[in-house]
Amino acid sequence: MKILVTVKEVAAVDDEFEIDGLAIDDRYVTADLNEWDEYAVEAAVQIKEAHDDVEVVTATIGPSETDETIRQALAKGADRAIRVWDEALDDAGLLDPETKAEVLAAVAAEEDPDLVLTGVQSADDGFGATGVTLADKLDMEWGAVVNNLDLDLEAGVASVHRELEGGVEELTDIEIPAVLTIQTGINDPRYASLRGIRQAQSKELAEYSLTDIGLDAAGIESPLEQTSLYEPETEGDATVFEGSPEETAAELAELLAEKGVTS
């Protein structure tokens, strides 16, 4: 069986930052593996460990600079990685969920996975829609916001918990092949071992252009155009206590006492 996991490099932004045009100035940005994808990778690797003959392949849309991040997934147990990049994707600007899903669907068409795991959302653009769009493009079943997964390969069913709002989980049986979008908390993502990190260096990381995966670069066009980026205005009118920790703590203690909070 083959599991395809979509992984993405996301930008983590410093506490203080400056905006340069339509992007955050590079100086304030660090690259990281998307938090939700880490849980998806772990879920795939756990299935691999529990069953015979499972291959875990990662798929990424991104330039070569993202290779280092992708290797984190390889170091944690994925078998090989695929990365798709093309100038046309760079030119398309803001990639909407449909465009991303189209590219990932082309990769999936080549790989023919039995299960696709994606993160619920990415920490930077937060669309939360690529996984389900991908499922529909692949004509696969799906489940969004999965925080518990029990796979019955013989029956061809994934019994999942979908985490709804307000501390309620929906218990659902999903026919596989399927795309599941994975929520944090489903497992406890492992740290990459030194051995894993060493092994990751020699694992295959294939790079494809759009043409390589059968897509027409001219057809890549995002219908969404980002026209501005700004820091949201603070709506808050919080009273901020100033001074040393002892001074601010004393002020807060006084306030809490006023509010009737005491032991």
Positions 76 through 115 that interact with another protein (CB under 8 A): 94, 96-98, 101
Instruction: Pick one of 21, 27, 154, 166: the residue that binds another protein (CB under 8 A).
Output: 166
C-alpha–C-alpha distance, residues 216 and 209, integer Å: 10
Helix (H) or strand (E) holding 23: strand 23-24
Residues 51-80 that bind another protein (CB under 8 A): none
C-alpha–C-alpha distance, residues 99 and 82, integer Å: 17
Q: Out of another protein, ligand FAD, none, which partner does residue 84 contact, by CB within 5 to 8 A per kind? A: none
Give the shortest CB-167-to-ligand FAD separation in angstroms: 8
Instruction: Pick one of 62, 88, 137, 190: the residue that binds another protein (CB under 8 A).
Output: 137
Per CB under 8 A, 180 contacts another protein? no
Give the shortest CB-166-to-ligand FAD separation in angstroms: 9
Residues 10-29 that bind another protein (CB under 8 A): 11-13, 15-17, 19, 24
Taking each helix axis as running N to C, give the angle between helix 194-202 and helix 67-75, from 0 to 180 degrees, rounded to the nearest 10. 120
Instruction: Pick one of 174, 180, 200, 213: the residue that binds another protein (CB under 8 A).
Output: 174
Partners of 178 in beta bridges: 115, 141
Please state whether 77 falls in left (phi above 0), alpha (psi between -120 and 50) or beta. Answer: left
Taking each helix axis as running N to C, give the angle between helix 130-138 and helix 97-111, from 0 to 180 degrees, rounded to the nearest 10. 50
C-alpha–C-alpha distance, residues 221 and 238, integer Å: 44
Q: Out of another protein, ligand FAD, none, which partner does residue 113 contact, by CB within 5 to 8 A per kind? A: none
At 26, which amino acid appears? Answer: D
Give the shortest CB-35-to-ligand FAD separation in angstroms: 7
Per CB under 8 A, 34 contacts another protein? no
Per CB under 8 A, 191 contacts another protein? no
